[in-house]
Structure 1
Amino acid sequence: MHVTLAEEIMLLSLDDDSGQAKDRWAVGWIVAGGLLLELALAERIRVDGGRVEVADTSPTGDPLLDVQLEAVAAWAGSTKSATVAAWLRKDQARSVAATLESLRGRGIVTEERRRVLGLFPVRRFPEADGTVERELRERLGRVVLDGAEPDARTAGLIGLLHGARLHRLAFPGELGKSVEPRMAALAEGQWAADAVQETIRATQVAILAATTAATVAASAATGA
């Protein structure tokens, strides 16, 4: 079964039992970045100097990507600040919702709704079919742990995870720390066309800036 980079990131972030997402804030950024990267790999968009340009509006054949392409095209044509950072800020919540719905529609996760204390609605997405995630983790293991050469999509996924410092989503526990150098090397390698690599770099810069701003704001609020 073909799944998008955004769906792969979402699967890595979801706890298999509880269905709750780990590192939800950072994951939102790279899910949105994963959709952009997928469109770049499909030669529907390109990124130049951090700006998003739509190169081809023809459908990709994937419903999740086609809805995203339509949204990006409409947005890029209506703003003078069509940067990757601006799009990620604008789109991360919608991207997460759309990606979860795509996974649910494919039967990979199920949706559970309940209320905490009888008041606050909570949605969970427990895994229904573990095959996709298992194959994904095996593929990442072959590349990161065993030294296999990545294809463009796998290297792109690694680049997004590394840029957001979410190594532990793919490699939990202490292993997450030990794989950082290998993931960094893969993220910086010449594995794809310049336009695709520019998408990765712009996403990494946007995530770093957002993370730094959030850290500064939190420190100021606590007086640290």
Structure 2
Amino acid sequence: MAVTLAEEIMLLSLDDESGAAKERQSAAWAVSGGILLDLVLAGRVTVDDGRIRVTDPTPTEVPLLDERLRQIETWCGKRSRDPKVTEWLTKDHTKAVKATVASLCERGLVREEQRRVLGLFPVSRYPEADGSVERELRARLRAVLAEGPTHRARTTGLLALIHGAKLHHLAFPDVPRKECAALLEELTAGQWAAEGVRRAIRDMQAAMVLVTTATVVAATS
């Protein structure tokens, strides 16, 4: 079973040794967005003009995606009009992270460890158990950065999510943030996928900019 976009983003976020999540809040938005984008690429969901619609409820046979597909269908069915992407990301991001981490544990890519903060408060950490998938992922991303645009919709879509959530340092820790942002802006432009997919990603990028900016403002106010 192929690794999903959400799982790839989660692998980039989790520290290999400690298992702690880096840039936790922004990564959570991107994880939820990754599930949504995989559903768009699978032809189950459309995102247009910043709003979500389920166009095909048929299961994808990927449990992580199918659970979210069922939830989106139920949620959309209770509303008078198609909901906004920002509404779904806000509702789903915390749950999406939990589901994605559970999926990574089931695959044997990370393992769960229970620890205590200050010797009192129990927390779960997810250090690396099998690094082969993340190594391949980082090599693929570095290749795109070095060689230029790819016509693989999933890879370019992943870069767009990373760029939209400002997770440049997680994916490319050795590249200065401004330089990386400019490169990703260039790489995710152009005719790399069907117009409907590119439009969906632009809408999702805009949604993540809104929610991540709001998170930063709330944290500093």
Q: How does 1:25-174 map onto structure 2 within 5 Å? A: 25-80=25-80, 82-147=83-148, 149-174=150-175
Q: Which amino acid aligns with 1:130?
A: G
User: Distance between the aligned counterparts of 1:217 and 1:97, measured in 2?
Assistant: 23
TM-fit CA distance, 1:22: 0.5
Residue 123 of structure 2 aligns to a residue whose secondary structure is strand
The number of residues matched between the two structures is 220
User: Distance between the aligned counterparts of 1:18 and 1:165, measured in 2?
Assistant: 22
Instruction: Map Cα deviations across residues 113-147 of structure 1 (whole Å, 9 max, x no partner).
Output: 12223331211000111100000011111111222
Residue 78 of structure 2 aligns to a residue whose secondary structure is coil
User: Distance between the aligned counterparts of 2:213 and 2:149, measured in 1?
Assistant: 33
RMSD: 1.6
Instruction: Map Cα deviations across residues 31-62 of structure 1 (whole Å, 9 max, x no partner).
Output: 00000000000000001211111011111011
Check 1:93–1:218 CA distance in 2 against 1; reply closer, same or farther (3 A cut).
closer
User: Distance between the aligned counterparts of 1:170 and 1:96, measured in 2?
Assistant: 18
Instruction: Map Cα deviations across residues 83-108 of structure 1 (whole Å, 9 max, x no partner).
Output: 11100000000000000000000000
User: Distance between the aligned counterparts of 1:164 and 1:89, measured in 2?
Assistant: 14
Q: Which amino acid aligns with 2:15?
A: D
Check 1:36–1:137 CA distance in 2 against 1; reply closer, same or farther (3 A cut).
same
Residue 147 of structure 2 aligns to a residue whose secondary structure is coil
* Structure 2 spans left out of the alignment, 5+ residues: none
TM-score, structure 1 as length reference = 0.92
Aligned equivalent of 2:209 = 208
Aligned equivalent of 1:192 = 193
User: Distance between the aligned counterparts of 1:57 and 1:214, measured in 2?
Assistant: 32
Alpha carbons 1:114, 1:121 under 8 Å: kept: yes
Alpha carbons 2:144, 2:150 under 8 Å: kept: yes
Q: Which amino acid aligns with 2:167?
A: L
